[in-house]
Homo-oligomer: A and B are copies of this chain.
Amino acid sequence: MASTYSQADRRSARRARTIEDALDAAEAIMREQGVGGLSMSEVARRLGMRQPSLYKYFSSLHALFDALFARGLARTDAAVTAAIRRRPPGVPRLRAGARALMRWAVENPALAQLLYWRPVPGFEPSAETFAASRDQMATVRTELAAAAGSGQLRAAAATDEALLLYTVVISGVISQQLANEPGASFAAGRFSRLTDEALDMYFARYAPAGGTDADPRP
């Protein structure tokens, strides 16, 4: 039975790889032609496959978008997680996470638009995909609470207002950069270069009265 098992294994591995290839192609298409330019036909074309065959992997165009949304979430999660690893809780993690997120968005504009704007009429991420999105928000909330609890920030940082303003600042930088200078790198972009200053502005609002050195910039 060993050979049967390994054959099935190879089969599913091959299938998984085809799916990844399809998502790669889809990302490229969105990068080149905008999110609205994505189509099953074009993805199939780039895979050297007939369009109906692609339906064996994605049951509809919406399903393809959902897979891309999920991929975007996983990628941002990985980028943020890697960036905050071994950093102390609170402000340092919030700062590093925000920077990582902005860099990722500038370098992956296609997926970023899918995550941060609403470019596809009628498309909403599925329930489970959306749940993952909520988890990310919960992480931010936790770090804000840690910052408030440890005195790095005022108690007001552990509120909904602070959480929402955090997302406002991040999405503001990302939106302006992607809309006005789509091609620029994170280092060169007129808006993405202001990432640290934007975060300074945000954290200053919740800085403790005393003015400690709780928020050292790297």
Within 8 A of B (CB), among A174-212: 175-176, 178-179, 182, 190-191, 194, 197-198, 200-202, 204-205
CB neighbours (8 Å) of A117 from chain B are: 113, 117, 119, 175, 179
Q: How large is the interface on A (under 10, 10 to 19, 20 to 34, 35 or more residues)?
A: 35 or more
Chain copies in the assembly?
Answer: 2
Q: Looking at the complex, which of A18-26, A43-51, A78-86, A164-172 is the stretch in contact with chain B?
A: A164-172
Please tell me which one of the listed residues B165, B178, B202 contacts residue A118 in the complex, with CB atoms under 8 A apart. Answer: B178
Task: Assess the B176–A168 pair: CB atoms within 8 A.
Answer: yes
Complex: chain B residue closest to A34, CB-CB: B121
Say if the beta carbon of A6 comes within 8 Å of chain B.
no
Task: Assess the B119–A34 pair: CB atoms within 8 A.
Answer: yes
CB neighbours (8 Å) of A201 from chain B are: 165, 201-202, 204-205
Nearest-Cβ distance from residue A183 to partner chain B, whole angstroms: 12
Say if the beta carbon of A52 comes within 8 Å of chain B.
no
Say if the beta carbon of A37 comes within 8 Å of chain B.
yes
- Which 7 pairs across A and B sit closest by C-beta, in order of nearness? A172-B172, A34-B121, A168-B172, A36-B36, A175-B175, A201-B205, A118-B179
